[in-house]
């Protein structure tokens, strides 16, 4: 097997993983759960500090199994009943008793959450648990479950070895060195058994979609659109099914369903957006299992590639980059002989559609963005099937597909630096 392919498989295994609940509040819950394990006694108060970006993405989103949004309840239930050995599924086994105790703790003012403005990390979560006899602080940085420091009673008991960042830089450098052509080659030619693990992305996110379409979650966009299909106000065509099945999963995820989502690049909505449009099209064309698997793999790998040009968290809604992947997967399935020019044209047109869609924090409204991005991806595919794409002289769109993706990254990294703090300022002071 080619060395490049082996690296891509390794990245898929680390960047496409299950998570229960939005990953930002879950990161704080995980920090609290690890701190509780080290504390060795019941926590009486919790003092949490998070980076500005994590505050933005955690303050308004539902925490699964609690019926409440935000970082306060996430920290409380993480400390009182989270599984410190479960990573992003730390809240998987919450009991009603833990939820009630967590809610009481938060309501009593025994949980505080502040912005840690001095930390150099875009992604940072810190939980200080104080008991009768001891106190433990756990700090997470750069990755939602990467513990970098544990202090007990003022003594450092764990400190992640400082490195030069070369491992992370090597990964980003590798991803940024790829091309869409290489990713298509990989998805088409890699031995199928080497990517068999990607089947779980489809089955897991399909289960979440069904839950969202039949439950009372979030804004109930998927269920509402289905209702209007029956009234004749919306068609039952493939585009409708792409949007409905995708947004159903997002409704459930953002609405607090106690089911895991398969993530992409650290985000459940990105994982949903990279999976469900492709699954809907694969079902429509009655794709063979191998063809379906390769299309899902193409989508997820393209999404990871596109996200490699973005910061870990930013003012750009990454449903866009995830649906760049979805456009690739859908185009590959629908084009005759998997014509890769159709794939390339669809990706280029995505660059001309939604690059200005902002991230204003994780919340039920994320489902609206997921719906918009999946619809845009399908529209781009339909145009590409007719040989139509947004031209290289238009706006951010370039003639070369890989330059298109790099341009999105430059917008997020450079152009939106001032946008992100302004979004958070508005969120903190509105109402």
Over its C-alpha atoms, the chain yields an Rg (Å, rounded) of 21
Judge whether residue 311 has pLDDT over 90: no
Over residues 330-372, the pLDDT tens digits come to: 999 999 999 999 999 999 999 999 998 999 988 899 999 999 9
Does an H or E element contain 136, and which? strand 135-141
Integer Cα distance of 334 and 377 in angstroms: 13
User: Which CATH number fits the domain 20-159, given the four candidates 2.30.110, 3.30.1370, 3.30.1330, 1.10.15?
Assistant: 3.30.1330
Question: What is the CATH T-level fold of the domain 167-429, as seen in this structure?
Answer: 2-methylcitrate dehydratase PrpD (1.10.4100)
As a whole-number percent, the residues of the chain with pLDDT over 90 amount to 88
Q: For 51-81, give one letter per residue: b (16+ CB within 10 A) or e.
A: bbbbbbbbbbbbbbbbebbbbbbbbbbbbbb
Decide if 202 contacts 210 (C-beta within 8 A): no
Structure tokens at 75: 């920290």
d(CA 247, CA 273): 8
Looking at the chain, the number of H-run helices and the number of E-run strands are 17, 10
The Cβ of residue 316 has, within 10 Å, a number of other Cβ atoms equal to: 25
Q: Is 221 helix (H, G, I), strand (E, B) or coil?
A: helix
Whether the CB-CB separation of 246 and 239 falls below 8 Å is answered with no
Position 165 scores a pLDDT of 59
Task: Give me the residue label for tokens 């938060």.
Answer: 106
Q: Cα–Cα distance between 346 and 367 in angstroms, integer? A: 22
Cα dist from 396 to 76, 283, 348, 419, whole Å = 44, 33, 10, 18
Q: In this predicted model, what pLDDT tens digit does every residue of 186-207 receive, in sequence order?
A: 999 999 999 999 999 999 999 9
List b or e across 281-292, with b for residues whose CB sees 16 or more CB atoms inside 10 angstroms.
bbeeeebeeebb
**What is residue 362's predicted lDDT score, i.e. its pLDDT?**
87
Look at strands 111-115 and 124-130 and give their pairing: unpaired
Give the model's pLDDT for residue 10. 97
Reported as a single tens digit per residue, the pLDDT across 150-173 is 999 999 999 998 665 566 779 999
* Mean pLDDT of all residues in 30-59: 95
* Exposed/middle/buried for residue 188 (C-beta within 10 Å: 0-12, 13-18, 19+): middle
Please give the pLDDT value at position 217. 94
Query: Can you read off the two tokens belonging to residue 351?
Result: 């660059």
* Nearest Cα residue to 266 out of 53, 47, 82: 53
Going by C-alpha positions, the residue among 302, 300, 286, 291 that lies closest to residue 205 is 300
Q: What is the mean pLDDT of the chain?
A: 95
Distance CA 335, CA 171 (A): 32
pLDDT of 48 reads 98
Please list the residues that pair with 46 across neighbouring strands: 111, 129
Domain boundaries, the chain: 20-159, 167-429
- 3-state DSSP assignment of residue 129: strand
Cα–Cα dist 134/378, whole Å: 55
* Cα distance between residue 402 and residue 175, in whole Å: 12
pLDDT at 166: 61
At 64-118, the pLDDT tens digits run 999 999 999 999 999 999 999 999 999 988 999 999 999 999 999 999 999 999 9
Q: Strand pairing partners for 112?
A: 47
């Amino acid at each position: 097997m080619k060395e490049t392919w082996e690296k891509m498989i390794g990245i898929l295994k680390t960047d496409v993983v299950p998570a229960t609940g939005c990953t930002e509040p879950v990161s704080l819950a995980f920090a609290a759960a690890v701190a509780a394990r080290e504390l060795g006694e019941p926590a009486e108060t919790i003092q949490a500090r998070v980076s500005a970006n994590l505050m933005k993405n955690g303050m308004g989103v539902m925490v699964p199994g609690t019926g409440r949004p935000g970082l306060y309840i996430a920290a409380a239930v993480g400390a009182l009943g989270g599984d410190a050995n479960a990573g992003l599924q730390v809240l998987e086994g919450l009991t009603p008793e833990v939820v009630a105790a967590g809610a009481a703790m938060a309501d009593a003012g025994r949980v505080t959450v502040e912005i840690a403005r001095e930390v150099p990390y875009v992604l940072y979560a810190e939980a200080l648990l104080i008991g009768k006899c001891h106190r433990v602080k756990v700090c997470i940085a750069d990755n939602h479950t990467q513990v970098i420091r544990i202090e007990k009673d003022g003594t450092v008991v764990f400190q992640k070895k400082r490195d030069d960042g070369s491992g992370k830089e090597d990964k980003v450098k590798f991803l940024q060195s790829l091309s869409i052509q290489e990713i298509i080659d990989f998805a088409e030619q890699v031995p199928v058994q080497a990517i068999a693990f990607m089947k779980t992305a489809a089955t897991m996110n399909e289960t979440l979609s069904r839950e969202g379409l039949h439950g009372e979650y979030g804004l109930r966009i998927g269920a509402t659109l289905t209702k209007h299909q029956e009234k004749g106000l919306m068609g039952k065509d493939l585009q409708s099914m792409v949007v409905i099945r995708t947004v159903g999963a997002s409704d459930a995820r953002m609405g607090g369903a106690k089911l895991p989502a398969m993530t992409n690049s650290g985000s459940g909505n990105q994982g949903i957006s990279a999976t469900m449009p492709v699954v809907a099209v694969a079902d429509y064309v009655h794709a063979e299992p191998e063809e379906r698997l390769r299309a899902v793999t193409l989508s997820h790998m393209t999404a990871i590639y596109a996200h490699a040009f973005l910061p870990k968290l930013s003012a750009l809604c990454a449903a866009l980059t995830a649906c760049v992947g979805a456009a690739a997967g859908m185009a590959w399935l629908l084009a005759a002989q998997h014509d890769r020019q159709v794939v390339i044209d669809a990706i280029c047109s995505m660059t001309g559609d939604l690059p200005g869609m902002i991230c204003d924090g994780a919340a039920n409204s994320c489902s609206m963005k997921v719906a918009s991005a999946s619809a845009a991806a399908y529209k781009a595919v339909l145009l590409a099937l007719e040989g139509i794409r947004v031209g290289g002289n238009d706006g951010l769109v370039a003639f070369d597909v890989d330059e298109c993706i790099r341009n999105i990254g430059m917008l997020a990294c450079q152009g939106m630096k001032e946008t992100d703090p302004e979004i958070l300022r508005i969120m903190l002071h509105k109402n």
